[in-house]
Amino acid sequence: MRRPRPGFRPMAAVVTAAALALPLTGCTTVHTTAPAAVRAQTASGAEAAGRFGTVDCREAKCIALTFDAGPSEHSAQLLDILKEKKVPATFFLLGKRHIEKYPELVRRMAAEGHEVASHTWDHKILTQIGPDEIRAELRRPNDAIEKLTGRRPTLMRPPQGRTDDTVQKICREMGLSEVLWSVTAKDYKTYDPKVIKERVLKQSSRDGIILLHDLYPGTVPAVPGIIDALKERGYVFVTVPQLLAPGKPKPGTVYRP
């Protein structure tokens, strides 16, 4: 298992119905766009289609399940669970020690209809490195994923949610959208599946983006209970692109509910 990252902290923000500004310490104010705003800006009549079926999040009570920092030794079990429960997820994958170690799992994620995206090559904080290094952190996992799946990622999640004008500009150049989150179980701090489940359920709401890490041992055992409880509450699970549909992710834009 990859070493824990004790410095990992989710970015605090105030949620609004459309776009909001997130002040980051030492960074430029970051403006984010909510999924509902993307859908509202798109002409009516289009449909959100995916290999898990057609879901219209303008009508359905949608929520996106996302996993960071894999693949890992736990990812095969997670994929088995998602397949059994017919739930799509979005995977933000790390390159070094992950994509390069578990290429067959990357292929399986794509083959089973999940969205495969980037979490950088080596989890470097993008706001603390230069433009050339940012480009390398983003290009290397995309190259590896495209080689394995035949499809180049269009989404990325910046480590610790840290982004700024420079990161956004480079993402725009590289055809990437940034995806943050609204729900975190802080599963890097607890390996108790019950606690992880309770935290997710407490924070979940319509159009939510759930952040979990399939590399920690308590997370995957919590997933079946999370899925079952949210389905009982009327939620429909979708990938991040499905959450935005009929709109599409726009390179250089930062998305957060």
Residue 222 has pLDDT above 90, yes or no: yes
State yes or no: pLDDT of 158 exceeds 60.
Answer: yes
Phi, psi angle pair for 44, to nearest 5°: -65, 155
What pLDDT sits at residue 43? Answer: 52
CATH of 48-255, one of 2.60.120.380, 3.90.480.20, 3.30.9.10, 3.20.20.370: 3.20.20.370
Residues marked active site are found at 68, 213
How many helices (DSSP H) and strands (DSSP E) are in the chain?
8, 11
Q: Which two tokens stand for residue 197?
A: 């489940």
Q: What is the pLDDT of residues 165-184, one digit of tens each?
A: 999 999 999 999 999 999 99
Residue 19: beta bridge partners?
33
Checking if the pLDDT of 6 tops 90, the result is: no
Q: Is 110 exposed, middle or buried (0-12, 13-18, 19+ CB in 10 A)?
A: middle
Give the largest Cα separation in the chain, rounded.
47
pTM: 0.86
